[in-house]
Amino acid sequence: MDAPQPAGELSESEEAGVPMQYSRAVHAFLIVATLTLMPVAHSAEPSLDFSRVEIAQKFRVINDDVMGGVSMSRLSSTGGAMVFEGEVSLENNGGFASFRGPVRFPPESAALLLAVRGDGQRYKLTLKLDDSAGSFQYQAAFVAPREWQTLRFEPADFSASFRGRAVAAPAVRFVDVRYFGLLISDRQPGAFRVEVKSVTTH
């Protein structure tokens, strides 16, 4: 509360010709405006931090042996990243290797940032809304850079697919995603290796 002015004495505002009520209103507005313009802290905490071994251990490989193929892959942790490596074979109508694990993205997520390094081959980032065998997945293709890079993926980069065929589905909402993974396919036989450090949202 403002200290009362002695009788016959004017406040600074009144001396300047500004009514007291107007001066207080302007002061209140300036306080609100200052608070509104203050920067909001943004958490850079990754949704998936593969430098933590306990996170990497929640992921599993899924290869074409589920369909009779003979491709092989494995996951390991080294150098603060999760390594996905193996060999793709086209024998027995096979030709893919992948990994998948649980994830939760914040409600305000507009993009995914993937810190990755690899062998220059084509991969697909995969997202699933559940882990059932009969559900489709969202896929976004990329080439694994040979040096560490952070790749950005937005909802428009993803298309829905089921067993290699495009299907009709609404645009992905990252908040609905429950499983994250990587896939190598597209008839690329031979050895492969890709390292993933983290997945962060923006």
pLDDT digit string, tens, across residues 138-163: 999 999 999 999 999 999 999 999 98
Q: Are residues 113 and 132 in the same domain?
A: yes
**Do 45 and 105 meet the contact criterion of CB atoms below 8 Å apart?**
no
Q: Are residues 19 and 85 in the same domain?
A: no
Q: Are residues 108 and 168 in the same domain?
A: yes
In a domain, 194, yes or no: yes
Contacts of 20 (CB under 8 A, 6+ apart): 11, 13, 14
Average pLDDT over residues 126-147: 96
Q: Are residues 63 and 5 in the same domain?
A: no
In a domain, 43, yes or no: no
Average pLDDT over residues 14-42: 41
Q: Are residues 52 and 23 in the same domain?
A: no
Q: Are residues 173 and 73 in the same domain?
A: yes
Average pLDDT over residues 194-200: 98
Look at residue 87 and tell me whether its pLDDT is greater than 70: yes
Exposed/middle/buried for residue 95 (C-beta within 10 Å: 0-12, 13-18, 19+): buried
C-alpha R_g of the chain: 27
In a domain, 29, yes or no: yes
Q: Is 41 helix (H, G, I), strand (E, B) or coil?
A: coil
What is the pLDDT confidence band of residue 133, given thresholds at 50, 70 and 90?
confident
Beta-carbon neighbour count of residue 165 at 10 Å? 8
Q: Are residues 85 and 177 in the same domain?
A: yes
Listed range (8-17, 104-113, 138-147) with the worst mean pLDDT: 8-17
Domain of 6, in residue numbers: 1-38
What is the pLDDT confidence band of residue 10, given thresholds at 50, 70 and 90?
very low
Q: Are residues 115 and 182 in the same domain?
A: yes
Question: Domains in the chain: how many in total?
Answer: 2
In a domain, 14, yes or no: yes
Q: Are residues 187 and 92 in the same domain?
A: yes
Q: Are residues 34 and 53 in the same domain?
A: no
What is the pLDDT confidence band of residue 37, given thresholds at 50, 70 and 90?
very low
Q: Are residues 31 and 52 in the same domain?
A: no
H/E stretch holding 26: helix 20-37
Look at residue 70 and tell me whether its pLDDT is greater than 50: yes
In a domain, 9, yes or no: yes
Q: Are residues 31 and 56 in the same domain?
A: no
Do strands 97-102 and 179-184 pair parallel, antiparallel, or not at all (unpaired)?
Answer: antiparallel
Distance of alpha carbon 73 from alpha carbon 90, whole angstroms: 14
pLDDT score of 164: 85
Q: What percent of the chain has pLDDT over 70?
A: 78
